[in-house]
Every structure is written in structure tokens, then in C-alpha cells.
Amino acid sequence: MAASTDKRSSRPFWPLVFFLGIALLIFARLGYLTVVKAPEYSAMASEARTVSFPIEPRRGTIYDRNGTVLAVSVEATTIYANPVEIDDPAATAAQLASVLGGKMEDFLPILTANKTNYSVIERKADVALADKVKELDLDGIYFVSESRREYPHGQVAGQIIGACSIGVDEENNREYYYGVSGLEAYYDDILSGEVGYYEAERGRDGSPIPGGVHESVAAVDGQDIIISIDLELQEALEKRLVQGIEDLDAESGSALVMDGGSGEIYAAASLPLFNPADRSEVEEGATKLKCVTDLFEPGSIFKSVSTMALLETNTMSPDDELFCPASITADGYTISDAHERGDETFTLRQILDQSSNVGISLAVESMGFDKLYNHIIDYNLHSTTGVDYPGEGEVGTEYLGNLPAFDNWSRVTGYNISFGQGLSVTPLQITRFYGALVNDGVECTPHFLVSKPQSGEVVDYPTEDVIANKAAIPTITSMLQTVVTDGTGKRAAIEGFDVAGKTSTAEIYDEENGGYREGVYNLAFTGFLANSSSQLVCFVGANEVPDDSSVTPLFKDIMTTAIDRFRISPDK
């Protein structure tokens, strides 16, 4: 009887053991999940809620000398998605398409992107357009305030200002502006600023979770810059250049206005023009400011350099006479003037105002070719100007052009260089030299940047006294005035002002066949308003003109605009 009683009493024990075992497994699993796996799951949940992105700085504004905005970063909105939070991607895509345009299928890959919580829908959208998307109140769609680069004046000063492109930083899922031409490129470091970073957890409604900011580094906005350009003069210069080059049936052309007393460039352009606001079609060479970047044989405007050397060395005075035959020969080559004439005797003043190749060649030979070479070096016509613009002279050193070393000069080399053949300069270099004539022999570094308004920094630029014989300056100025009153530059005359300058009709070297091309010329004029309240110097050039014409009317119109614009007066 006793054995039977013990057997019955053990029956409830085994179910209890079974349920205790189940409970132990559950508690073990719970402990594993809450202790061992909890950090991992917490991290996964946090990652699903966390959004991170770079904060783009505002790119600095570029102003002209009067405070007119030339390039500016305007408010824009980047629209992005957190795919984890989107329950119905197809419906969301359809609503986005209804506002942003395109098809639903265009947005589906963005809304279903794996392994990201920051999937860009549209970068730098108009604020008004982004606001329409906000009104849809879509789950998982967010907005970041950014900026977009705009150029309110289109092509006016476009080559100077330059343009930006959008770079891609795939590692940080970032797009950013960087300068690719003009001052946007040259001053990219100070315009671009420093990128910031934001990482935080957000709730389902997109609002930040208190205490959920993991990292936040503020962006440092780029600095604004004020440049020397006067927008009104710039626009007038561009319009006159376009019309003038068309009238001359020229291939291209350039124009430049610079203050010889400060080096500030008030206006500059070359053809074809460039519009940074519309880059759907960009003509070849349009992004370059060729009066800064391109070399050319200056021709007769270089005779002022040779004449200055003659005056500085006291080799000849303006009224000294020199017999000038119709032609001369050297090293098997014949030198003659551009216009056929017989043997004549010219004063030095006449040699310059009649632009005699023979006369300046013989005058320089009497001085000594070595002295011409030395003065070219003294006037810095062998070196870059230091202008703050990319690509000066298209070389990477401080020296440019093809001024032959003096040891390699032959007699014909000396003749040719005396009237501006056989060497190359940029229009800006020759303008800098003429600038010294209005600035008591001191060359200023040509430049665009004037100041940085946020810091109050006004930039100082180097100057150099390049003309030792100061007494020669009013003499050369008087001779350049005669070029306009009595010589080849008569059409540059402006009523009420003493215009001083020099014309050029330069032959064009044939790079394929050697020698010079027939029936096509590069024309130029460089001049200033002598005895006036202004130190502005203007260069105008036209390339590959099919006949012997003149660019002096372009100079006259551009400088007349400057006279009216800046209220320049004769200073008798």
C-alpha cells in the first residue's frame, strides 16, 4: 500500500519541472536580449532614427567697386528622404512627382535606397518649390537650408568673375561649389568657407529628439570680396567691343581699362564673352580673359618703349633728325614702313607719330641694342605683372613671352624688336608700362581684389619705380599726344582732352609656314588722357583684321564713357 501512495504523489512534479524549464529558457533569452544584444539593438534603433549630413557654408559674395552684387549665394533648400521612415514609397514618389515634375519611377530608387538614412531627392532647390513639397507633409521627407550660386548680371564681367562647378564628395554624400574660372577660382579658398557637420536623432515626425544631437559643427561662411570693376563701365566696354570687332570683321578682340596710379582694373573683356549664369553653350576660349592670359606681338605700340629708352639715355631728343631711307636690310631681310614712301628725314617725334619702322630701327641701333634690351628688362616687359587672375601669359613661372636672350640677338632681331616684332607680351603688360607714364614712372601691380569687407582688410600691392630719368616722362607724353594730333592716332582724339597714345598694325606670325601672314593684321591702341584728373589707361585690340584699319574709335568711345562716368576733367 505504501509504494502505491508514493507513485501517485510524484505526478505533479514533472509538469512543474517542465514549466520551470520553459521559464528558465525564457528568462535566459530575455537576459541575452536585454544584456548581451541590447547595445546592438539599441544601436540599430538609434541608427534608424539618426540623420547625418554636412552643413554647407555660404559662399562669399563678390561686389563691384560700388557695392553692386556680381556673384551671390542665394537661399536654397536640399530635399532628402530617410527611406526607413517611408511606409509607402510608391505613393510618396507619386506626390513628389506632382510637385517636382518627372515621373513616379524617377523617385522610387531614391525612396527605397538601402543602407542610408539620407537619400537626396533634389539639391539646392528653389525655396518656394521646397515649400510646396513641405505642404505635402510626407513621412520621411526632410529639408536642409543651403545656398545656390547666382550671377545677377549674366555675361557682364563674366570672364572676370568666373564660374563655379559642383564637386562631389561621395564618402560624405556631399556636393559643394568650387571655382573653376576667373576670380571664383583664384579666390576659391577665401570665398568657399569651411564645411560643417550635423548628426542627430529625430522622431517619426522629423522633430529632433531631446538630447539626441550626437555631433554638430557649425559651418564657417566664406568671405565676401570687393573688386575693382565698375559695372557700368564694364557693360559699356563689352557692348562697344562687340560692335567694334563686328565692324572690323575681326576674328576676336580685347579691351582693358586700368588705373595707372593704383593698378585697379576698372573694366576688361575679350571675345567671345562668357555668361556664368547660362552655360548651356560656351564658345571655345570664352572663359579666358585674353587681355590677361594671351601673348601677342605688340607691333608699333611697342615703339613707345623704344622711344622711352632713347629719351632716358639721351640718345635723341624729340626734334633731333635722322635720315630714314625707304627701306634698310639686315641679315638678308628687308625692313620697310607699313605704308610705302620714299627716302625722308624725320625727327624722332615724326618717327613715332608716323610710326616708322625704319626710323625707330636706326634710332635704336645708334643707341645700342643692348640698351634697348636692358630697358625692356627694367620696364618689366619680360615678366608677369602679378595680377590676381588665373593663367597670366599661360605660363607657370614669373617670366613670360619670347624675348630672346641678348646673346642671341642679331642685327635684324634688334630692328624687329624695336618696332614690336620678334617678342611677345600680354595686353596687360603693355598697359602696365603705359600706366607708369601717368604715374611718374612707377608701375603698379594690376589687380582686381580691393578689400574684404567682413574683416575690413584693404589689400596692398607692390609698386616699382621703373623709369629713372623722370625728365623723359613729360617728353614722351608730349610725343604720344602728337601721335593723336598729327599722326596715325587722329581718330582717338576726344574734344577738350589731350589724348596720348600709340597705334599698332602688327603682322601676324605664321606658325605653320614661318614668316608673317599676308593681308591680315592685329590692330591695337594704348593710350590715356594726358594732363587730366584721371590716370586711367586704356588698351584696345582687334585680332586678325583683314585690312589696315584702326581700333582708335573704340578707344575714343570707351574713354568718353569713362569721362562721363567718373567726371574726368582736363587739368590744364
pLDDT at 497 over 90: yes
pLDDT for residue 489: 95
The residue with cell 576660349 is 285
Split at pLDDT 50, 70, 90, the class of 197 is confident
Structural domain ending residue among the three candidates 189, 212, 227: 227
Instruction: Calculate the alpha carbon distances from 240 to 258, 488, 495, 520 in Å.
Output: 17, 21, 19, 22
Specify if 30 maps to a domain.
no
Q: Which position has the higher pLDDT, 87 or 41?
A: 87
* Judgement on whether residues 500 and 430 belong to the same structural domain of the protein: yes
The pLDDT of residue 397: 40
Residues 196, 264, single domain; the answer is no
CA neighbor of 358 nearest in space, from 320, 329, 331: 329
pLDDT of residue 263 exceeding 60, the answer is yes
Out of 276-285, 311-320, 424-433, 505-514, least confident range = 505-514
Answer whether 14's CB lies under 8 Å from 105's CB. Answer: no
Indicate whether 367 pLDDT > 90: yes
Q: Is pLDDT at 396 greater than 50 in this prediction?
A: no
301 assigned to some structural domain = yes
- Residues 104-147 have pLDDT tens digits of 899 999 998 876 777 889 888 888 999 999 999 999 998 887 77
The pLDDT score that the predictor gives to residue 218 is 80
C-alpha cell at 71: 556673384
Q: Cα 153–156–159 angle (5° rounding)?
A: 120
Q: Does residue 40 lie in a domain region?
A: no
Q: Which domain holds residue 125?
A: 51-227
Q: Is the pLDDT of residue 414 over 80?
A: yes
Same domain as 171, residue 76: yes
The pLDDT of residue 34 is 62
> Given this model, what pLDDT does residue 300 score?
95
CATH number of the domain at 210, please. Answer: 3.90.1310.10
The CATH number covering residue 488 comes to 3.40.710.10
Instruction: Give yes or no for residue 10 having a pLDDT over 50.
Output: yes
Q: What pLDDT, on the 0 to 100 scale, is given for residue 545?
A: 94
Cα separations in angstroms, 60 against 192, 225, 348, 458, 518: 7, 7, 53, 16, 49
pLDDT tens readout for residues 459-474: 999 999 999 999 999 9
Asked whether residue 501 falls in the same domain as residue 545, the answer is yes
How much is the mean pLDDT over the chain?
A: 88
Is pLDDT above 50 for 309? yes
56 and 79 part of one domain: yes
Domain end among 191, 211, 227: 227
Per-residue pLDDT at 398: 43
The answer as to whether 414 is a domain residue is: yes
What is the structure's pLDDT at 572?
57
| 43: in domain | no
**480 and 512, same domain (yes or no):** yes
Average pLDDT over residues 274-278: 95
54 or 154: which leads in pLDDT? 154
**CA–CA dist 33, 417 (Å, integer):** 89
Identify residue 209 by its one-letter amino acid code.
I
Query: Both 354 and 437 in a single domain?
Result: yes
Using a pLDDT cut of 90, give the percent of the chain over it.
66
Which of 102-116, 164-178, 290-304, 524-538 is predicted with the least confidence, judged by mean pLDDT?
Answer: 164-178
The stretches of 221-347 forming alpha helices (DSSP H) are 231-248, 290-293, 303-312
pTM for the model: 0.82
Strand locations in 356-497 (E): 442-444, 449-452, 457-458, 463-465
- Considering the domain architecture, whether residues 254 and 361 belong to the same structural domain is answered as yes
Task: For residue 278, tell me if it sits in a domain.
Answer: no
Confidence of residue 417 (pLDDT cuts 50, 70, 90): very high
- Under the banding of pLDDT at 50, 70 and 90, the label for residue 205 is very low
pLDDT above 80: residue 87? yes
pLDDT tens column, 21-74: 676 666 666 665 566 555 554 555 455 555 666 777 889 999 999 999 999 998
142 and 60 housed in the same domain: yes
- Give the span between the Cα atoms of 46 and 295, in whole angstroms: 62
What pLDDT shows up at residue 511?
A: 73
Total number of domains in the chain = 2
Q: Which has more confidence, 4 or 353?
A: 353
Q: Please report the pLDDT score of residue 399 as a whole number.
A: 43
Averaged pLDDT, 97-103? 91
Assign 75 a pLDDT band (cuts: 50, 70, 90). confident
Do residue 214 and residue 250 come from a single domain? no
| Same-domain pairing of 260 and 222 | no
Q: What is the pLDDT of residues 510-562, one digit of tens each?
A: 777 777 788 888 999 999 999 999 999 999 999 999 987 899 999 999 999 99
> Residue 13: is its pLDDT beyond 70?
no
200 and 240 share a domain? Answer: no
Q: Is residue 510 part of a domain?
A: yes
| Res. 400: pLDDT tops 50 | no
Cα(255)–Cα(537) distance, integer angstroms: 11
Closest CA to 432 of 382, 474, 480: 382
Which are the contacts of 80, defined by CB distance < 8 A and separation ≥ 6? 53, 118, 119, 120, 121, 141, 142, 143, 144
Average pLDDT over residues 413-439: 96
Q: What is the pLDDT of residues 227-254, one digit of tens each?
A: 999 999 999 999 999 999 999 999 999 9
Cα 87 to the center of its chain, rounded Å: 48
Q: Characterize the bridge pairing of strands 265-270 and 321-324.
A: unpaired
Give the DSSP per-residue string, 220-253: BPPPPEEES--HHHHHHHHHHHHHHHHHHT-SEE
* pLDDT of res. 299: 93
Is residue 69 one of the residues assigned to a domain? yes
Beta bridge partners of 452: 457
Q: Count other C-beta atoms under 10 Å from residue 368's C-beta.
A: 14
